[in-house]
């Protein structure tokens, strides 16, 4: 039996520029952190999901997923379920909330590959969303570190549950694209 959930999200699709989105792990992670850093200069960037294919990059605004109570993990896992996905990256400012109270806010870049390798940069933000340090902390699976709680495992989850993201273009160009998993 197929379970479906839907939410409307904005999707931008662009050709994959290998200088901007390289194939090497460290270079790709650093490129995503640079994107995040540039976005911070324009204001607090909303979380975005980047899905990388050999020929294109799909960028999805994750705000509707969070705002509609959808599972971020199911959404990202479903995005990995489509053929040809080379990597996914969750980029933006994420809040750690417990019992309705904000515990911490951090700029975060988490990149994951189909073999479950991951690369994570995190930069804790203080008052007025100013970074508390000049450089992010970088953690990687290849260093034997445990995956950070609450992030990743999306390719495994997508395979295990057979999740697959389906994008449907809205008839109205001003409407966001929807997804079903």
Domain count, the chain: 1
125 neighbors 132 (Cβ within 8 angstroms): yes
Contact 78, 158 (CB under 8 A): yes
Enclosing domain of residue 120: 6-180
Model-level pTM? 0.88
Place of tokens 């200069």: 41
The residue written with tokens 């999740």 in the block is 163
Answer yes or no: is 42 within a domain: yes
77-108 pLDDT tens trace:
999 999 999 999 999 988 777 788 877 888 99
Helix (H) or strand (E) holding 30: helix 25-40
Instruction: Decide: 93 and 112 in contact? Cβ < 8 Å.
Output: no
Q: Is residue 134 part of a domain?
A: yes
Per-residue pLDDT band at 174 (split at 50, 70, 90): low
Q: Cα(29)–Cα(128) distance, rounded to whole angstroms?
A: 26
Tell me whether residue 150 is in a domain: yes
Answer yes or no: is 51 within a domain. yes
175 pLDDT above the threshold of 60? no
**Does residue 139 fall inside a structural domain?**
yes
178: pLDDT strictly greater than 60? no
In a domain, 1, yes or no: no
Task: Decide: 70 and 58 in contact? Cβ < 8 Å.
Answer: no
Phi, psi of 159 (to 5 degrees): -65, -45
Segment holding 124, helix H or strand E: strand 118-125
35 has pLDDT over 60: yes
109-143 confidence digits (pLDDT tens): 999 999 999 999 999 998 888 889 889 999 999 99
Percentage of the chain beyond pLDDT 70 is: 91
């Amino acid at each position: 039996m197929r379970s479906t959930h839907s939410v409307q999200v904005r999707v931008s699709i662009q050709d994959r520029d290998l200088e901007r989105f390289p194939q090497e792990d460290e270079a790709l992670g650093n490129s995503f952190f640079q994107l995040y850093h540039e976005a911070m200069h324009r204001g607090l960037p909303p979380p975005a999901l980047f899905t990388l294919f050999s020929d294109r990059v799909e960028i999805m605004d994750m705000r509707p997923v969070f705002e509609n109570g959808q599972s971020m993990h199911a959404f990202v896992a479903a995005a990995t379920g489509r053929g040809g996905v080379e990597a996914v990256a969750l980029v933006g400012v994420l809040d750690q909330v417990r019992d309705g109270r904000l515990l911490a806010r951090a700029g975060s870049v988490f990149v994951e590959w189909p073999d479950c390798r991951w690369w994570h940069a995190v930069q804790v933000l203080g008052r007025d969303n100013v970074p508390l340090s000049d450089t992010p902390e970088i953690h990687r699976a290849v260093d034997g570190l445990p995956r950070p709680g609450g992030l990743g495992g999306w390719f495994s989850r997508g395979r295990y549950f057979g999740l697959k993201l389906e994008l449907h273009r809205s008839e109205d160009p001003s409407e966001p694209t929807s997804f079903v998993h």
